[in-house]
Amino acid sequence: MTLDGKTLVVTGVASGIGAATAALLQRHGATVIGVDRNVPAESAGTFVQGDLSTPEGVAAVADRVPEGISGLLNIAGVPGTAPWQTVLAVNVFGVRELTRLLLPKIADGGAVVNLASNVASGWAARQLEVSRFAQAADAQEAIAAVADDPEVTGNSYRFSKECVRWLTQVQASENLGRVRVNSVSPGPVQTPILEDFKKDHGRDKVEGAVALLGRAGRPEDIAEAIVFLLSPQAAWLNGTDLCVDGGLLAHRTVTAMATAAA
């Protein structure tokens, strides 16, 4: 596969999955515009420092992106150990608003890939709540409105990624025939924030999952899936989530069914 002549915006480029994705894109010949709050040790292509937690920060990043890009990879995110308001601001509204601002700059036939998570696999059970929040006209009002909802504030990361799953479908539906929009849902990945996931989701649960699988995912595992979704081979994939977790979700689903049937 070659991405020669393609220019792609990658958020979260300073570390982890974002850094691995940017490096892989460059190996395939793409030009990368990397975005992060932190300055990467090694910059893959052009780097734009920016804060995706506020509308002003998102707009400032979007202003520095030229017309005619080939796609946007929304990889930046914060873990559930951060204040819940920040988790929702970045993981939901940062993704939504940057995509909204950059879609007109994406050439026909381009693609958007959003990073979701396998912890959001049950999103459809809360689809009404998720859709209302993710599509609220005013982000700050939406965040304030859930302040007394422990299901959201106590599970902000999961809820944020459920919103990403829904936003992926909305964005795909609104851009049929022009820009494809898909998401990727990793399981535990060996990144700088894996320790945060252990604190947020339970150390025994995360370490048990890694032991079951034989290893944690590598950033490169997820990067390969993301880049595949940009390829001609994925031309008929749109509004779809690609779960890249070594089979963890499948195992948990089968185990839960067997327990319920016992």
Residues with a catalytic annotation lie at 157
121's tokens: 């696999």
Task: State how far the Cα of 100 lies from the Cα of 105, in Å rounded to an integer.
Answer: 10
Task: State how far the Cα of 244 lies from the Cα of 142, in Å rounded to an integer.
Answer: 30
Distance of CA 66 to the CA centre of its chain: 22
134's tokens: 């993710």
CB neighbour class for 46 (10 Å; exposed up to 12, middle 13-18, buried from 19): middle
Task: State how far the Cα of 88 lies from the Cα of 82, in Å rounded to an integer.
Answer: 10
- Say how many C-beta atoms besides its own lie within 10 A of residue 177's C-beta: 8
Give the HSE-up count for residue 168: Cα atoms under 13 Å, Cβ half-sphere.
30
- Say how many C-beta atoms besides its own lie within 10 A of residue 172's C-beta: 19
Task: State how far the Cα of 2 lies from the Cα of 28, in Å rounded to an integer.
Answer: 5
114's tokens: 């959003």
**Cα–Cα distances in angstroms (integers) from residue 35 to residues 11, 28, 74, 236, 250, in the given order:** 4, 19, 10, 28, 33
